[in-house]
Amino acid sequence: PSAKVSVVGIARNEETLLPVPYFEKFVGHLGERMALIIDPMLATGGSLSATVDMLKRNGCGQVRALVLVAAPEGIALMAERHPDVEIYTASIDSHLNEHGYIIPGLGDAGDKIFGTKHN
């Protein structure tokens, strides 16, 4: 009953693979709370790292991440940029392909969840 929900929207530029934030709405008093970031996939790590940056800028000191599938490249980036963030995952897949997708992975989670398809 005391859980609060904040929302961050980040897309990935498919050419540069860099995160592009488009929305953020944080509940008050982040410094008094532990943030749990839930994301279906951790690929390059750019979006997760950007989300952690936003949370820390807004006063959050304790962050954890829960992802279904992760790639070693994303885990390595998070260990380098945010070694204090614990990451929980169900699966670590082999690697990323040249487009930054997890191999074998699940496909584009955003397209599947939101019904979008980028050409």
Catalytic residue at 51?
no
Q: What is the dihedral of CA 78, 83, 8, 33, to 10 degrees?
A: 160
Long-range pairs for 9-17: beta carbons < 8 A, 24 or more residues apart: 10/47, 10/50, 10/51, 11/110, 12/44, 12/46, 12/47, 12/100, 14/99, 14/118, 17/44, 17/46, 17/100
Set 33, 51, 93, 108: catalytic member: 108
Residue 12 annotated in active site: yes
Residue among 16, 57, 84, 116 flagged as catalytic: 16
Residues 29, 65: Cα–Cα separation, whole Å: 19
Active site residue 111: yes
Q: Which of 57, 84, 111, 116 is catalytic?
A: 111
Residues with active-site annotation: 12, 16, 108, 111
